Amino acid sequence: MKTYPEIHRLLKEAGHEVIPHRTIYRFHATEIVKSLNLYETDTIISVGGDGTLFEIVNGLMNNAGKKIPPVGIIPIGTGNSFAKDLKIFTLEDGIRAVKRNISRPVDIISFTTENSLYYFVNNLGFGFVADVSLSSEPLKRLGYTAYAIGVLKEMTRLRSHELSLEIDGKKYHHKANFCYFCNSVWVAGNMKISPTSRLDDGEMEIMVLNQITRKEMLKTFPKVFKGTHIKHPSVIIYRGKHVKASTIPAKFCNPDGEIFGVTPLEVKVLPSALQFCTLE
């Protein structure tokens, strides 16, 4: 990591003792954080993107310690979506947020898939949005452009599925192109997927796109950069704390941009479960 020496220097100059942990394989960060003695840690710092943060959150939520320190984010990944909700846009912003030492509560969302429990902090989707994540994965080096290319590619084979939702005990059925569980505003770096989401309101937004044509999707997609896509009559938004979701056929998922998990799902909000360093 070319930027690490600079990050290490800036943190040490601010008076912090820095203990680095290098990750080598998928979910390595989860294993590292899960085994840390959190009583000896003042701040956990995620140096990377949304995928790195996802692994760290899962490590923290599975750590046996009762004291969980705040999480800092130094955004040097591809999308860095979640950091934007904390007003952290650059490496320097991330350093300033850690030095500032002011944190805020953030809801964490748990999800159960194939009898295993995981957690996400940003969003989780299936259908078109997860198909796009899969298509754009090999192009991540292109940054935001990768997701746009994935969108265009998946539009050519746009599919719908049967979707059943149970939200806080109420049941709904849709013929949908995608479903998104949102805890924060941004996705894929610069797409304002859920403009009404709040990090600490104790609820999630459940966004459903009912079946539309390729032509209508192509017309509507650019609106996601300003968040005005939610005005489209085929976009349905629910709010809830506990959701059960199933699809026909089964659909794979993209929690915080990672490709794994499959419907059916059970999704729950854990209010103010973690603290994050912020520049808000």
Residue 7's alpha-carbon distances to 80, 81, 87, 89, 95, in angstroms, are: 17, 20, 19, 15, 8
pLDDT computed for residue 153 by the predictor: 81
pLDDT computed for residue 208 by the predictor: 98
Of 93, 23, 87, nearest to 58 by C-alpha is 23
- Residue 125: CB atoms within 10 A of its CB come to 24
In this prediction, residue 142 has a pLDDT band, given cuts at 50, 70 and 90, of: low
Compute the radius of gyration of the chain from its Cα atoms: 18
Distance of CA 56 to the CA centre of its chain: 12
Domain ranges within the chain, ordered by starting residue: 4-111, 116-268
Q: What percent of the chain lies above the pLDDT cut of 70?
A: 95
Is the bond preceding 249 in cis, omega lying within 30 degrees of 0? yes
Between CA 141 and CA 77 the distance in angstroms is 10
Between CA 170 and CA 84 the distance in angstroms is 33
pLDDT mean over 110-135: 93
CATH superfamily, with its number, for domain 4-111: Probable inorganic polyphosphate/atp-NAD kinase; domain 1 (3.40.50.10330)
Residue 151, pLDDT > 90, answer no
pLDDT computed for residue 45 by the predictor: 96
Q: Report pLDDT digits (tens) over 19-68.
A: 999 999 999 999 999 999 998 899 999 999 999 999 999 999 999 888 89
Q: Report pLDDT digits (tens) over 202-256.
A: 999 999 999 999 999 989 988 999 999 999 999 999 999 999 999 999 999 999 9
Which CATH code is given to the segment(s) 116-268?
A: 2.60.200.40
Q: What is the mean pLDDT of the chain?
A: 92
In this prediction, residue 136 has a pLDDT band, given cuts at 50, 70 and 90, of: confident
Catalogue the E-assigned strands of the chain. Answer: 44-48, 71-75, 103-113, 116-120, 123-127, 161-167, 170-182, 204-210, 235-240, 242-248, 265-277
Residue 141, pLDDT > 70, answer no
Of 18, 72, 63, nearest to 43 by C-alpha is 72
**pTM of this structure:** 0.93
pLDDT computed for residue 239 by the predictor: 98
Between CA 82 and CA 87 the distance in angstroms is 9
